Structure 1
Amino acid sequence: MAKWGEGDPRWIVEERPDAKNVNNWHWTEKNATPWSKDRIRKLFTDFEIKDNNIECKITEIEKVDGEATANNRKGRLIFFYEWIISMKWTGLLPGQEKPSEGKINVPNLSEENDLDDVQIEITISETTDESHKLKQFMYNVGRDHIRKQLGVYLKELREEFSKGLILPKKDDIINQNTTRPDGVANISNAFNKKINMQPIVSVDDKSLGCKVAVTTIQVFESFQCRANEIYDAWTKPEMVSAFTRGPCKLEANRGGIFELFGGNIHGKFEELVPNRKIVQSWRYNQWPSGHFSHVVIDFEEKGDHTEVKITQTGVPENEKDATYKNWKGYYINSTKQTFGFGSFLM
């Protein structure tokens, strides 16, 4: 990892002739959501489960809600997915004339759970002897078939979206003309994004030897948790690593430093008031050299939630919108999704 305030030599574009994702160091991402929704629907449309003269069939895919992404970080492939799936099924016992009906619910298919541990709920629409027998069949036999189909989706997800995420290194392409694979891009407006930032003239910063136009942003959010829980989530290294989905360096004490998102976000703690306030000097690596902003995070616990106000001064003016969006996406939304402190906001 780079020293605090210094760039990482692995980001130097000359290491690859095309100046793209040097040594696969950048976080790159493919959106697998549309493909996944379509693939899940196709895998279960008219899917049949037969055994011992009992026949059941999925007749309708009611809901496929969620998201999936394929990511490359430091040459390592990482897949994130979270799905809620609801389906209708019918079944017939030997000699049964009128089919029984029911529903299948998969409340949480995600990378956090092994496939064998994925919950599959089976319900029936009416209470008859035949329906109860078919429900038991779906529970004992049908769930295994459903898990196998989900396994097919996960296998194909990894195969389909591994393509092009790991780019060849310098030695692999030195004499080749290469183009970036379709669908692969450094995350737009992300803290992990490598950009070329040119200083702009307005406010004089003598420490930089240049002038930087700066502005202030504020972010307001409510979390469904106690103040100490969200405070811990942003000050304990193991919890920060969980919601940033990567290793971090963090010393949550006055004067302690922090480095997040591969060192792209770094700074030091100026003040900490447990469960009430965090004050930081805060910098994005691609800002003008040596330029830091000032971040104040206030926590106020209410009756059934905690309100958080983030005030950041000294943000380069041309980075205002991107920085705001990244607080919402890579801090707030990711924290909510990881720890269950509220619905995940898109």
Structure 2
Amino acid sequence: MAVQNPNNWHWVDKNCLAWAREYLRQQLVGLSTGEDAKAAQYARVASVSSIDGDCEVSQRKGKVISLFELQVVLLLEGHVGEEQFQGSITVPEVAFDTERDEYQFDVSVYKETATLSAIKPVVREQLLPKLRDVFAAFGPTLLAEHSQDIQVPEAQVNSAFTKENQQATAGVSATKTATAAKPAPGATATPKAATATATATASAGGANRSTLHLEPSFIVPAAEIYNTFLDKQRVQAFTRGPLRVTAGPSKEGSASAGAAQLQIGDAFELFEGNVCSELVSADPGRALEFRWRLREWPAKVWSTLHMAFHESQEFHETKVQVTWSGIPVGEEDRVRANFENFYVRPIKLTFGFGVVL
């Protein structure tokens, strides 16, 4: 980025969220509980489900600082004996002022059983320290990678004060980066390719979209909670309002107008038209996918709400893995609150499908 800032005196910001997402994916995917994938208990980071928050590098008066606060959700896969599993690790806060030992982790196993529960302590003992190393190295690497982009080169700085600050910042950044944890096996220490990928995504319009990952649990079989999102009477019960089908097989006047459940291709409105949605796909008892938007969003802006239903018959609960992509940046908290307050909580209260805290 071009910088017009005489003597590096004024405040300059650079948004690094796209870079952070790609960098953390490179560093985290593939980390595991050990090198032996055939061990009796084994887990690895299969993918990064979502990285949300803010990430910036800023400078003023020659001093460069990083300000970031991210929420990271990782998807796990592995086995305990011959029993395969999938799960997730949620890191509520990866922040610029968080020390290595202060990171918190929520480890979840889908379709959990007494046997699969044994993987949780293994993940905590063998995998979480590796995640801590990556997050501890993130801040210094962020500064090393982007600090020069927001400053005028030192040769063009005439102020002794700002030049001294610039030299001190560069020295601290280099020292921290050199002593940071080693990158994950196969990962690139300074992701030049990541920068190129992030730029391509931004130029394609992807920089103004975000993804949420949620995992509400319901004390009910998967088939029941699956049907709750499709059965028209149930939907109207927990939303406390009419469901109006505006297009598709179930629209009034069509052959399927009297269908008790939403049909694939049905477009409909909820909450007096404040939410517009469309059922895109349905895998009975396993997964649903909707297009979803708030009425206030621009007409062509839609998000994708994907729900996968993981039932633990032993523990008598179903965990709904929600991957919500295409959300306009800045709307994440609003969408999360809407889903928790107008979907999850009312469903539990209306049908007795779980405890409401």
- TM-score bracket for the superposition, by shorter chain length: 0.3 to 0.5
TM-score (ref. length: structure 2): 0.40
Q: Higher relative CO (CA 8 A, sep ≥ 6), structure 1 or 2?
A: 2
